[in-house]
Chains A and B, each alone.
Chain A
Amino acid sequence: MTYMSSISRDDVANLAKLARIDLSEDELAGLVKELSVILDAVARVQEVAGSDVPPTSHPLPLVNVFRQDQVRPSLTPEEALSGAPAQEGKRFKVPQILGEE
């Protein structure tokens, strides 16, 4: 059985919140329509995805690739901060993260 879901304006607004993107009402309305069409088209993957088929997350049969934990040359603090929108005292300066209290 193919699982189909209709998607509402509130669903998209919640997804946008989870994805940390503000969306205008126009953008929301457009996405409701487009996502419904796209989801209808992609839902067919369920038709053939039987429980006997193992999932593939990656094309290479690699697991746990490690290298030696050695100190190597790396970016200087100035280089690492060179693209920062704001900085202070060799640190990234960011807006308030925690609430007031």
Chain B
Amino acid sequence: MIRKSAAEMAKSLASGEITSVELTRAHLDQISRVDSQVNAFLHIDREGALEQAEQVDAKRRAGERLSLLAGVPLALKDVLVQKGIPTTCGSKMLEGWRPPYDSTVVRRLRENGIVILGKTNMDEFAMGSSTENSAYGPTRNPWDLTRIPGGSSGGSFAAIASFQAPFAIGTDTGGSIRQPAAVTATVGVKPTYGAVSRYGLVAFSSSLDQAGPCARTVLDAAYLHEAIAGHDPLDSTSINAPVPAVVAAAKDGNVGGMKIGVIKELQGDGYQPGVLRLFNESLEILASLGADIVEVSCKYFDYALAAYYLIAPSECSSNLARFDAMRYGIRRGEGSAEEVMNATRQIGFGREVKRRIILGTYALSSGYYDAYYGSAQKVRTLISRDFESAFKLADVLVSPTAPTTAFKIGEKANDPIAMYLNDIATIPTNLAGIGGMSLPSGLAFEDGLPAGFQIMAPAMKDDLMYKAGAALEAELVFKWQGPILNLAPKLGAR
């Protein structure tokens, strides 16, 4: 049962074939079996999960009308607060903290009867592409335990790729949902900025952060997307408009006549040949299904990475000023408030977080502001204009999700620039605030590891990427003779 899709689990729950308590227990058992090897979870809420499951079962027995996903278990990235449940953001700074309120995402999950199994590992405060920056040790890729699961939502994706949960919540600031989806052969969606409320999402870079679904199928991602999206007065950047019909689009999966734009700048040098070959094979499939493949050029994308590594650290240096050792989190050191704050932040923050805070402080300081942060904001405008022009020629845009398959743990830990290059194809969408999806394109010939196919859609047209994604997925699953995760090594008890 744990290898089924969330949609299939929902059907089995509705038909009475299985109860939510049984389904939840099956996943908790799998967590006990494999997570000592994967390290996907930072906190497992056994009692709470079984209690939520029991409540759903009781309502179902009483004949109450339930949401479609009621009783299906889920894993939650540890950057979203859940009342009373430890939330660390992968940082020592918040060790032991139990938030006194629910994020809007958690409230929506509860309203849908979705059972939250626990909190998943991540790069500290979502800064990273490998989950190596967690203060609680790296998460390992279920395809090869010596390799990274991507990041920063690495815990969420490793959990679903090892059947510890059917789906999960991640967040994406520069690719933190799509890149881990690519390297674990799963589906990850960063919705349009403002589609999912950021209330209760611990802020990294507020103008870029967006929560979204992590799943094993495009349809499951669509169900979860509809469950968590929608206007929220508690987030002033929440879009007040109907959620696009992404479930209907995923069920439709028809690309006949759809114009698909291949971004010239997001391929070639720096991309692994096996990743590019799979990308081109996916394009051929889409063409064979009746899509019209066109090439588009986005010439300012070459500057996206540079702009991102000024904007995100600048916003982070401001956002993380709230960790002042006064109101919540750890407190270390002696003396004045300032001395205590300085000492706490030295101990509480890891290396990458300090690096970004210092970089952001520099980019925002007087004398350098215009040259760095100001220029980066202008590049952001140029990138949005590139997208606008490209979307005049195509309904959706596509690229490989990440330039390479999963690398070894430790391989890039001492080279920040090499690490940042992981996000070269995913960052432009965050800067422009549009939606992006990654789905598996296959296993690269060089190393047999998964690669991802990225689909980008104009703002608030997230349904288009589900439509194209579902079409491609159906053909690929047929070609693979089943879900791609069937090809992953089986993790057993150690």
Contact = CB atoms under 8 A, between A and B. Distances in A.
A45 B310 CA distance: 9
Nearest to B311: A57
B102 to A, nearest CB: 12
B328 to A, nearest CB: 3
Given A48-B300, A58-B207, A67-B233, A35 B349 contact: no
A95 B340 contact: yes
B455 to A, nearest CB: 18
Contacts of B338: 20, 97
A45 B307 contact: yes
Nearest to A45: B375
A12 B365 CA distance: 12
A60 B460 CA distance: 11
For B98, B306, B330, which residue has the most chain A Cβ atoms within 10 angstroms? B306
A54 B378 CA distance: 6
A20 B341 contact: yes
A23 B354 contact: yes
Interface in A13-47: 15-16, 18-24, 27, 30-31, 34-35, 37-39, 41-47
B359 A46 contact: no
B327 A92 contact: yes
Given A59-B384, A92-B326, A21 B378 contact: no
Interface residues of B, number: 69
A69 interface: no
B288 interface: no
B359 A45 contact: no
B190 interface: no
A65 B236 contact: yes
Contacts of A80: 100
Given A83-B328, A84-B327, A55 B194 contact: no
A6 interface: no
Interface in B208-236: 233, 236
A22 B346 contact: yes
B303 A44 contact: yes
Contact of B327 (A35, A37, A83, A97): A83
B317 A38 contact: no
A89 interface: no
Interface in B266-318: 300, 303, 306-307, 309-310, 317
A57 B431 CA distance: 10
A85 B330 contact: yes
16 contacts: A15-B365, A30-B351, A35-B362, A44-B303, A44-B306, A45-B375, A49-B375, A54-B381, A56-B377, A57-B377, A59-B384, A60-B193, A65-B237, A84-B328, A85-B325, A95-B337
Give the 6 A-B residue pairs with the shortest CB-CB distance, closest first.
A59-B433, A83-B328, A55-B377, A85-B331, A49-B375, A49-B378
